[in-house]
């Protein structure tokens, strides 16, 4: 099994943030995780990447249980993520930000720099490589988030609400980038988002969370037509583009 979440559960002081969530991901798939705000999506990401330890359940990646590893160990094993609210390294340049990611797989300055520049080029950020990260605009900062994560040479990329707050042109551009990533490198992608066109146009499969539980999974068009989902989402879903 390439990647599997099994019975994953996490409580925060009485609140069941994630409750017995299980699903698996094949190599090269793009899986979308959707659900109303507070349904536990980001918590699942945090559990997978090691920011929290699960109370119950496992995260299994390439036949290894990674649920109790530190975030940096998980990164080295090939899982990278972006944050819902971008977390740049503010006073470092765009290139340096990306090089931090690149250094996870090499110790040589030249190599890290090359990798960094390559990733920046892919995301169209090469022109801003020396700009301090704190000076970037919202959409550009999101691209930096992606670039940094890509620089770690991941096998699984986890993208957390990257299209939030972007206008239709910007979110279309992001969709294009995500598709390109999968085409070029066969990257497996887990993506959380609310914006409909991102979700529908890009994912192979959808998982829907509600109150920390998985209520359905399947092909995108089937899932969003399902009555359970529309009930849960009524009034919460906003359509992009």
Q: How far is the CB of 60 from other proteins (least distance, A)?
A: 20
- Distance, in Å, from the CA atom of 139 to the CA atom of 136, rounded to the nearest integer, reads 8
Question: Measured from the CB atom, is 148 or 194 closer to other proteins?
Answer: 148
Distance CA(81)–CA(188), nearest Å, equals 12
Which CB atom, from 36 or from 78, has the smaller least distance to other proteins?
A: 78
Q: How far is the CB of 88 from other proteins (least distance, A)?
A: 7
Nearer to other proteins, 98 or 181 (CB): 98
> Judged by CB under 8 A, does residue 211 bind other proteins?
no
Pick between residue 61 and residue 232 the one whose CB is nearest to other proteins. 61
Cβ neighbours for 31, distance < 8 A, ≥ 6 positions apart: 23, 25, 189, 190, 191, 203, 204, 205, 206, 207
Write each residue from 80 to 119 as x if it is in contact with other proteins (CB under 8 A), else as -, in one continuous string.
xx-x---xxxxxx---x--xxx-xxx-x-x--x-------
Phi, psi of 60 (to 5 degrees): -120, 125
Q: Of 70, 121, 169, 228, which lies in the binding site for other proteins, with binding defined by CB under 8 A?
A: 70
Least distance in Å: CB of 83 to other proteins?
7
Contact 30, 204 (CB under 8 A): yes
Buried b or exposed e, range 3-19, using 16+ CB within 10 angstroms? bbbbebbbeeeeeebbb
CA distance 178 to 25: 17
Q: How far is the CB of 80 from other proteins (least distance, A)?
A: 7
Sole binder of other proteins in the list 13, 14, 110, 235 (CB under 8 A): 13
Q: Are 147 and 123 in contact (CB under 8 A)?
A: yes
Identity of the residue, 89 or 173, whose beta carbon is nearer to other proteins in the bound complex: 89
Sites for other proteins among residues 24-53 (CB under 8 A): 49-51
Cβ of residue 51: shortest distance to other proteins, in angstroms? 7
The phi and psi torsions of 212 (rounded to 5 degrees) equal 80, 0
Among 76, 135, 179, 182, binds other proteins (CB under 8 A): 76
Angle at 187 between CA 103 and CA 111, to 5 degrees: 25
Residues 107 and 124: beta-carbon distance below 8 Å: no
Residues that bind other proteins (CB under 8 A): 13, 49-51, 70-73, 75-76, 80-81, 83, 87-92, 96, 99-101, 103-105, 107, 109, 112, 148-149, 152
């Amino acid at each position: 099994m390439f990647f599997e979440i099994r019975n994953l559960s996490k409580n925060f002081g009485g609140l069941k943030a994630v409750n017995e969530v299980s699903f698996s991901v094949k190599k090269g798939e793009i899986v979308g995780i959707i659900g109303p705000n507070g349904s536990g999506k980001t918590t699942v990401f945090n559990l997978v990447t090691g920011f929290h330890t699960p109370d119950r359940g496992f995260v299994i990646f390439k036949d290894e249980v990674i649920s109790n590893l530190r975030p940096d160990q998980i990164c080295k094993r090939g899982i990278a993520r972006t944050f819902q609210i971008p977390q740049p390294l503010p006073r470092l340049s765009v290139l340096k930000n990306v090089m931090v990611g690149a250094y996870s797989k090499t110790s040589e300055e030249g190599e890290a720099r090359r990798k960094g520049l390559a990733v920046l080029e892919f995301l169209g950020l090469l022109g801003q490589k020396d700009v301090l990260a704190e000076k970037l605009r919202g959409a550009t900062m999101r691209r930096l988030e992606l670039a940094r994560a890509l620089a770690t040479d991941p096998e699984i990329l986890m993208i957390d609400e990257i299209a939030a707050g972007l206008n239709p042109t910007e979110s279309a551009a992001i969709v294009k980038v995500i598709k390109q990533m999968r085409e070029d490198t066969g990257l497996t992608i887990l993506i959380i988002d609310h914006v409909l066109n991102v979700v529908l146009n890009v994912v192979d499969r959808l998982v829907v969370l509600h109150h920390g539980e998985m209520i359905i999974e399947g092909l995108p068009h089937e899932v969003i037509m399902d009555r359970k989902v529309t009930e849960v989402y009524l009034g919460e879903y906003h359509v992009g583009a």
